[in-house]
Structure 1
Amino acid sequence: MKKWNIKLSEFGENTENHLRLLIENEKIKGNEEKTKITMRLGDPSVFGNFPPHPSIKSAITEAIQRDKFTYAGNVGYIFAREAVAEYASHMGEIKADDVILTNCCSMSLEMCILALANRGENILVPKPCYHYETFTNGIGIEIQYYNLDPENDWQIDLVHLESLINEKTKAIVVNSPGNPCGNVFSLQHMFEIIDIAERHCLPIISDEIYEFVTFGDVKHYSFASVSKNVPILVCSGLTKRFLTPAIRCGWIIISDRGNKLQEIRKGLIQKIGGRGFGPNSTIQHALSNILKNVPQTFFNNVNARVDNNARLLFDHLNKIKGLRPIMPKGSIFMLLKIELEKFPKISSSMEFMQLLIKEQNVYTFPSECFHFPGYLRLVLTIPTDVLLETCTRFEEFCNKYLNNEQ
């Protein structure tokens, strides 16, 4: 007699998000004598101290009245795509036909990768980096990790990047402002990256979800605004800059001055775009007002507050023996280097994180999750009083485990 034998598919078996997996499988119990502090997820809305601008709620409320809740086709409503094209005018001449609306930036990235690479082929991504392998492992697309240099503002090691390129390489993924490093590429460095892409005829997938989230006089430039000959697929959305992570509205902007992405454009619009049908209809109706009505002063204030948190955190952690924070230039993250040689009873940043939870009830992500051991990733959008309490707990923890003979 035939028996039930239902197994998870190869795709399902090989697909995982390292950050979410760590949270779901975590069995460590935090110290209940201390309040829980989480510096984990890149969600600025968690603590309520970074609310979205009131005009966003107004735009959604008004959009509900106009929305007929109908399907918007593969790429989104034309009026919503026109709004994104206008918003992206800093990239150059962008038209509505260059915009594909998606459910989120992650979906935009996945679509671009699926359009460019086949099983057995590879894309180049930074290390440390966001978990792009979530989009590739289940379908056999390989990832080659190129190094970012922590001693040089997390710029790309260009020699290492170019050494990885072979006949199966289909694209270079870049991320600036970056997660988890907080790096922001200079114009000169962007030209150097584009030069490599042009010499090898490789398109660039530019993850710009943290666009314009920069500190002080640091400026964000889109790769689409810099490149003249290399085609760029820009992936972004409302999540980070507009402080609306749960809205689920992203986009792909196709910047292709030489018309080299004809087949890719057609595939994204007519084929791959049909997998998701864009973000929900109400958000599309609200998109124009959201993109137009949030004042620049709001963004300036948010950036200044995150910058202040970064400086405060840096100043306090930098005084603690065994810790070496790296000041970010943008995004909402800071990487904290653990000088493990000074903590003889702790073998890795993963173990450091686990003990920090158990003893101090402080939750962070170890950089093993980003393929770059030895660091912790800290989120910068927590309230100032919580941030200072976090520093106190770090100091108490480090003083306990520090090798005092050094």
Structure 2
Amino acid sequence: MIDSVTKDKSRTVLTNGHNEKAWKVVASEAAKNCKNYIRDIVDNLVLEPNPDKQVIALSLGDPTVYGNLSPSKESVEAVLEAIESGKCNGYVPTVGTEEARQAVADYLSFDGVQYDYKDVILCSGCSSSIDLCITVLADANKNHNILTPNPGFPIYRTLAESYGIEVRSYNLIPEEGWIIDLAHLESQIDENTAALVINNPSNPCGSVFSENHLRDILEVAYKYKVPIIADEIYERLVFESTRFVSIAALNSHVPLLICGGTGKRFLVPGWRLGWIVFHDPVGAFDAEIRRGLGCLSQKTIGCNGIVQKALPKILLSTSQSFYDDVTTILYNNAKLAYKIIQDIEGLTVYMPDGTMYMMVKIQLERFPQFSTGLEFMQRLMEEESVFCLPGECFGAPGFMRIIITIPSELIKEACDRMREFCKRYYTK
């Protein structure tokens, strides 16, 4: 029983007649280890835009922000029909409904790959898919590590480190189209490597691996018996003559967990529908891993039931013209940005083969006023109200990532402002 309450300026202490103790609740190790590397960098920048210029954000990986890219009419109609049916207001199986899982299996069955609904687990967005894959394969108590690309999207590191799992990065080679440095990849593998994360097509690089390069990657994974988590959220979102090849299409003897979802190609990241697909020609996942992922899916009690109901129509009825229109817009925006930036002294731009991004290298030796890319980006925001994500967010200091999803007139304006900014500070 509480006898009295003592108050002072800094705290309130409850006494029970025997002792006096202030409350202190300690955060878990998982919470302490969970770090958003983009927010950690960006939030520590002093970003005060030029009040005389409209802010142009070339930073957000959300294609819906400016309203120029919208989901297909088939997707919208499918969701409306699902709501009106009144049949998807309750809980669904934690791994997803059979109908929705079969739709994913059919959608991804191409280039000789055939999936069944039993190979599919539905998740709350692709980030959730990756989370479950890392969790089922890697264990901090066994000193496991996972391998991730550099540059690479930081969510892999955020998720793994929150569980106490070591993250090791393997290098991509910008001068060779951001292919993997296979020798460096091999040097990072040891007996505790639990998984190799492959992101193709790539965020932030906008690169798309060739079939031959994918085969080389699979050879390394097979040699060391390391399973692959394949982040293919940007599957088929490629430009012109570039062809997307799923790593599952190469008939390897490497067990694969393929992660994807509707967020990017279908322009609906807020609908939170992702998937994990098993491709396991050697049967390495048949027992424990399949059962483990089924158990882990129970943490979220299943993903969005409305979108699951709509999924067959979204995936299997969306017209090819929708996909073509989206990739045409992105490709034209990429060409526009590339054309302007390649003529800006002090910058080196890399033309993407797909996705929604392109990487730009800042030749810092030509801008002696700035010791880091972060300083360059901060001043660009202050003077020109243009904000790009600094390469430090992706493990690539001295680079910046720009998006190509915004209206073309804003891309041109942003790139023109970058040109004027670089002119002011460029030193030969």
TM over 0.5: yes
Instruction: For residue 273 of structure 1, report the CA deviation from its aligned partner.
Output: 1.1
Match of residue 307, structure 1, among 319, 331, 334: 331
TM-score under structure 1 length normalisation: 0.97
CA shift digits 1:262-299 (9 cap, x unpaired): 21111001x21111133211111000011112111110
Where does residue 151 of structure 2 map in the other structure? 128
The 1-side partners of 2:131 and 2:41 are apart by 21
Where does residue 39 of structure 2 map in the other structure? 20
The 2-side partners of 1:9 and 1:186 are apart by 43
Compared CA separation, residues 122 and 227, structure 1 to 2 (3 A): farther
Structure having the higher Rg: 2
Equivalent residues of 1:194, 1:227 under 8 A apart: no
The 1-side partners of 2:40 and 2:271 are apart by 23
Q: Does the alignment pair 1:144 with 2:165?
A: no
Where does residue 29 of structure 2 map in the other structure? 10
Secondary structure of residue in 1 paired with 2:53? coil
Where does residue 237 of structure 1 map in the other structure? 261
- 5+ long unaligned stretches in structure 1: none
CA shift digits 1:55-76 (9 cap, x unpaired): 1111000001222422112201
The 2-side partners of 1:307 and 1:290 are apart by 23
Compared CA separation, residues 9 and 370, structure 1 to 2 (3 A): same
Q: Does the alignment pair 1:42 with 2:61?
A: yes
The 2-side partners of 1:284 and 1:96 are apart by 13
Percent identity, please.
41
Secondary structure of residue in 2 paired with 1:167? coil
Secondary structure of residue in 1 paired with 2:52? coil
Where does residue 94 of structure 1 map in the other structure? 115
Equivalent residues of 2:46, 2:378 under 8 A apart: no
Match of residue 132, structure 2, among 85, 106, 111: 111
CA shift digits 1:281-336 (9 cap, x unpaired): 11110000111121111101111111111111011011111011101111110000
Runs of 4+ displaced beyond 6 Å: none
- 5+ long unaligned stretches in structure 2: 1-19
Equivalent residues of 1:76, 1:279 under 8 A apart: yes
The 2-side partners of 1:220 and 1:304 are apart by 16
Equivalent residues of 2:82, 2:88 under 8 A apart: no
The 1-side partners of 2:424 and 2:171 are apart by 33
Instruction: For residue 24 of structure 1, report the CA deviation from its aligned partner.
Output: 4.3
Where does residue 366 of structure 1 map in the other structure? 390
The 2-side partners of 1:90 and 1:235 are apart by 16
Where does residue 416 of structure 2 map in the other structure? 392
Q: Does the alignment pair 1:268 with 2:289?
A: no
Matched length: 403
Secondary structure of residue in 2 paired with 1:90? coil
1:188-199 aligned at under 5 Å gives the runs: 188-199=212-223
RMSD: 1.1
Instruction: For residue 41 of structure 1, report the CA deviation from its aligned partner.
Output: 1.3
Instruction: For residue 219 of structure 1, report the CA deviation from its aligned partner.
Output: 0.5
Where does residue 105 of structure 2 map in the other structure? 85
One-letter amino acid of the structure 1 residue matched with residue 69 of structure 2: F
Match of residue 357, structure 1, among 363, 366, 381: 381
The 1-side partners of 2:34 and 2:423 are apart by 40
Q: Does the alignment pair 1:290 with 2:318?
A: no
Task: Tell me whether 20-29 or 340-349 shows the greater mean CA deviation.
Answer: 20-29
Equivalent residues of 1:102, 1:277 under 8 A apart: no
The 1-side partners of 2:329 and 2:348 are apart by 22
The 1-side partners of 2:248 and 2:300 are apart by 25
Secondary structure of residue in 1 paired with 2:270? coil
Match of residue 169, structure 1, among 176, 182, 193: 193
